[in-house]
Amino acid sequence: IVTLIVVIVFQWSTPFQESTTQSKLKNYDGNRNAYNLETQVLSAMAKREDSINPIAEFPMDDYRASRLQLSPGRPLFATFDDFLILSYKDTKVFPEKDFANITSTFSPSKSRVKRLVCHIDRSYANLRKWQHYIHVVAPCWSLFRRFPNAKHYIDIHAKKSPGSDKPWSSWIIEMNKYFAESNIHFLNNDKLRRPGSGDWIASTQMISHGHGWGDPTGNGPLINAYYFMEQSDIFDLQKRVLGEKAMHGPSHDKLRILLLNREDSSARNWKYTNQTFDLIKHEWGDLFDVKLIRSFSGYSFKQQATVIHDADVIISPHGAQLTDLVFSRPCTTLLELFPRGFYYPKKGTLLMEAGGIAFIGYHFDGSPVSEAPAFDYYNNTESGKRLREERRSVPIFASPASILYALPDVLHAAITCRKQWLL
């Protein structure tokens, strides 16, 4: 009798599972035009194999798209091992230097946590910019999620602070408001009262070796940056900022592609964004929506977050505007354009942590790793800083034709991810 029941259940559940999957795909393919889009993309990829990559006329540059790969053996997310956690009662003020030889006294499974202080310190001359702040505050957000019953504090120790002559940027002030709404308190120069055995202080020491730069010798692999401990932590933050508009998962509506430029900046301003927009619109506009934003200037914090959250494919130069990828959804796909001799795909891994896919856009005849000089975080000399500024402070001349040539790879990655998400 038991055997008969098992056979009946198996025979009934298998077709049910198959029909459910087929129903999802039918809805996805038929009602959302995904099948037609995928067919067109695959056809474009097949035709491209028989063609020659377009040759740009000066001053345009031919670009190509390569999928961003993690450093060998380096995880995508942070872990407890990336924090140095000490007893607050015994520490109070966190050591700013020479803590490489200090061992955490904290055990995630054994230590009682009543109050948890996340300490922030950075070697920047100041910590006022949103693109820098997210790298040190995101780990704190994740760490607090591991201890929901504890009281949470952020201990800010930066050379420039809200009380100085150069306060936080408006973006950081806005983010701190959302943190406060999540019952995260800011200590500034205060101390916890009556510290006890359940009070701990943690340093986000992961930042010291996760800047997205190559090995200082120039011979090693890219040291990819990471921010959060789990993808769910990112979605929790998105829900706090976007409210009911936050959607955990890819959209199954018509694919939306965003061209996001930096026209308000001379550094990495993409000179041919308008022409690329017109070309993509002409070639693919009947299959997906195309949107052009010349600059995020004038957009509020929440407006920027919403724009990124709504986009399915993003083409944009390397820059601070990509910090808003923290608000991207799973399967969002990025093509980040870099100038020659500068390779710093730090925000690509932020997108990957959110469940997205990152591509790097680089000169067709170049190699981003071998051409970019080594920037040693621990020995960032004046000459190294000047060289870095020279390489990054130039416009982007990516030609519209080469971006159109590379686009099917980016689109196919986004479509495949959507299907996998359904299954």
The Cα 242–Cα 358 span in angstroms is 23
Sheet (strand 256-260) strand order: 63-67, 357-363, 333-337, 313-317, 256-260, 289-293
- pLDDT higher for 337 or 192? 337
Of 182, 172, 188, residue with least CA distance to 137: 172
Average pLDDT over residues 73-97: 77
Contact partners, residue 119, CB within 8 Å, separation at least 6: 94, 155, 157, 201, 202, 203, 204
Of 334, 301, 302, residue with least CA distance to 406: 334
The Cα 156–Cα 158 span in angstroms is 6
Average pLDDT over residues 325-347: 92
- pLDDT higher for 89 or 210? 89
Helices in 69-129 by DSSP H: which ranges?
Answer: 88-91
Q: How confident is the model at residue 330 (pLDDT cuts 50, 70, 90)?
A: very high
Encode pLDDT of 5-52 as tens digits: 444 334 444 444 455 555 555 555 544 556 677 888 888 888 876 666
- pLDDT higher for 414 or 82? 414
Q: How many CB atoms sit inside 10 A of residue 184's CB?
A: 18
- pLDDT higher for 99 or 237? 237
The Cα 166–Cα 246 span in angstroms is 33
Q: How many CB atoms sit inside 10 A of residue 10's CB?
A: 9
The whole-number pLDDT of residue 106 equals 81
Amino acid residing at 5: I
pLDDT at residue 412 is higher than 90: yes
Average pLDDT, the chain: 81
Q: What is the pTM of this model?
A: 0.87
Mean pLDDT lowest among 68-77, 79-88, 189-198: 68-77
Residue 165 belongs to what H/E stretch? none
Per the CB < 8 A criterion, the answer to whether 400 and 272 are in contact is yes
Three-state DSSP class for 8? helix
